[in-house]
């Protein structure tokens, strides 16, 4: 037996490698391609959803918008047409979760900085404070790439409606006056059709950011 193995070791090695390749091919063929879920408002925490959207179960998309970024440029849905993007809500004077969220958004920026298919969008929940000049200073301090990431301000009603009727990412502040918002740590993944995908991601958790990066690649692959 030992002599047989010695005399035929290359043939045996070849057969072992061939069997391994065949098994790997079968495994690949039998493994279903992962697809990201398309989310609807009725799948979110109700505290994040405007009453008018609570029972929407299909066809949900991000509503048209017109806001102003850190350069004073008007940013609309047209700037994100045909793009995959990650959206969040923040404010520049936030002392708690916002600095961590911004730091983690820069990880996404770094990962996709040379990929024009992927963009970022951060909305201020205190637009009366976060003027263009304030956003510009914040963007410079945080290393924001203008071509990749828009920090936007604008009409409070519009931002409130986007937050609670489109992105489903903030809570209503009952004690802060009309259209007052309590933003969350949530990052939202939006596809090229303007639909929310898979789930909300915790923007303060680097492991969640890694999962989000993986899901962006899955979503990119689905358009191949």
Q: Which residues are annotated as a binding site for Cu cation?
A: 94, 98, 183
Structure tokens at 211: 């999962």
Q: How many C-beta neighbours within 10 Å does residue 51 have?
A: 10
How far is residue 126's CA from residue 164's CA, in Å, rounded to a whole number?
15
- Distance between CA 32 and CA 81 in Å, rounded? 29
Contact 203, 105 (CB under 8 A): yes
Annotated binding site: 94, 98, 183
190 closest CA partner among 5, 32, 59, 61 = 61
Which are the contacts of 80, defined by CB distance < 8 A and separation ≥ 6? 119, 121, 190, 194
Helix residue ranges, H only, the chain: 2-7, 9-30, 97-111, 132-142, 156-161, 206-222
């Amino acid at each position: 037996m030992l002599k047989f193995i010695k005399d035929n070791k290359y043939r045996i090695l070849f057969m072992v490698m061939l069997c391994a390749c065949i098994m790997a091919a079968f495994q690949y063929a039998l493994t279903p391609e992962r697809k990201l879920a398309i989310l609807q408002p009725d799948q979110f925490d109700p505290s994040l959803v405007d009453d008018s959207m609570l029972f929407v179960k299909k066809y949900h998309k991000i509503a048209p918008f017109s806001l102003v970024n850190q350069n004073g440029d008007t940013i609309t849905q047209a700037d994100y047409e045909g793009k995959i993007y990650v959206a969040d809500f923040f404010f520049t004077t936030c002392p708690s979760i916002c600095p961590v969220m911004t730091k983690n958004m820069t990880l996404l920026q770094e990962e996709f900085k040379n990929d024009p298919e992927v963009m970022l969008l951060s909305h201020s929940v205190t637009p009366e404070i976060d003027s263009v000049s304030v956003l510009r200073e914040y963007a410079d301090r945080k290393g924001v790439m203008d071509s990749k990431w828009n920090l936007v301000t604008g009409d409070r009603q519009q931002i409130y409606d986007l937050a609670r009727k489109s992105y489903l990412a903030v809570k209503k502040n009952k004690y802060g006056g009309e259209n007052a918002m309590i933003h969350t740590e949530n990052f939202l993944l939006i596809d090229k059709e303007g639909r929310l995908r898979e789930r909300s991601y915790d923007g303060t958790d680097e492991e969640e950011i890694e999962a989000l990066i993986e899901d962006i690649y899955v979503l990119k692959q689905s358009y191949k």
